[in-house]
Amino acid sequence: MSAVAKFSLMTLPYEANELEPYISAETINYHHGKHLAGYVAKTNSLIDGTPYANMTLEEIILKAEGALFNNAAQVWNHEFYFSELAPANKCQHQPKGLLLKAIEEQFGSVEKLKEKLTEASISLFGSGWVWLVSDDKYNLQIITTPNAENPLTKGLFPLLAIDVWEHAYYIDYRNSRADAIKAFWNVLDWRIIDKRFDAIHKSK
C-alpha cells in the first residue's frame, strides 16, 4: 500500500517570476520545485511507518539525527526562507517597532546589521545558513549553521534566514555569493521579520 504523504510542498506566496530581477523564476522553480520538493519527499519516505509519522516537523527536528534530521530541517529552513521573501515593490524594506528598536540598540543601525549578516554569509565555508536569531530575553544574535542545521535545536528563536547553499544562487550569480546577498536584501520583507519578533513577545 502506498503511504500517504504527511508533509506537502508549501505554496509560495508569490509567483516564481515575481522576485525578478533579484531572484529569477528559474532559480525559484529549481529551489522550490526541485530542491524543497525533494526534501519534503525524502522526509515523508523516511518517517513512513515509524513513530516520527505522528510528529510535527519541529518535533522531528528536535529528535531525529542523520538523514531524517537533514531532510526535515531543510524543509523547515526553506519554508522559513521562502516565507520571508516578497516582490520588491511589495516589501517593507526596513524593520519597524520593537525589532527596529532592538536592532538599533544592539547593532547600532539596520545598515550595520545588514553588513554583519552579509559578512557572515560571504565567509561561511561550504553549504549552510546564516540566521538572525533572538533568545527569550530578546537579545539578537547572528549565527551560522552548516548544512541543514537549525537554531531551533539550540533553543533560539529564528527571525531571518539566508540560504547560502549554492543552489540558492548559482543559476543567477554563479560563484558570486556576495552579489546574491546584495540582491537578497531587495526581496526581503521585513514585515515578516517584525512579526516573527513580535510573536516571541506574544508567546511569553
Assess 80 for contact with Fe ion (CB under 5 A): no
Q: How many residues bind Fe ion (CB under 5 A)?
A: 3
Residue 168 Cβ, how far from Fe ion at the closest point, in Å? 5
Q: Which is nearer to Fe ion, 168 or 192 (CB)?
A: 168
Q: Which is nearer to Fe ion, 107 or 169 (CB)?
A: 169
Residue 49 Cβ, how far from Fe ion at the closest point, in Å? 28
Cross-strand pairs, 85: 188
User: For residues 118 and 154, is the Cβ–Cβ distance under 8 A?
Assistant: no
Alpha-carbon distance 157 to 73, whole Å? 15
Q: Which is nearer to Fe ion, 165 or 197 (CB)?
A: 165
Q: Which is nearer to Fe ion, 163 or 189 (CB)?
A: 163
Q: Which residue is nearest to Fe ion (CB)?
A: 163
Residue 127 Cβ, how far from Fe ion at the closest point, in Å? 9
CB-CB neighbours of 198 under 10 Å? 13
Residue 165 Cβ, how far from Fe ion at the closest point, in Å? 5
Residue 77 Cβ, how far from Fe ion at the closest point, in Å? 7
Chain positions 143 to 202 lying near Fe ion, rule: CB under 5 A, are 163, 165, 168
Binding site for Fe ion (CB under 5 A): 163, 165, 168
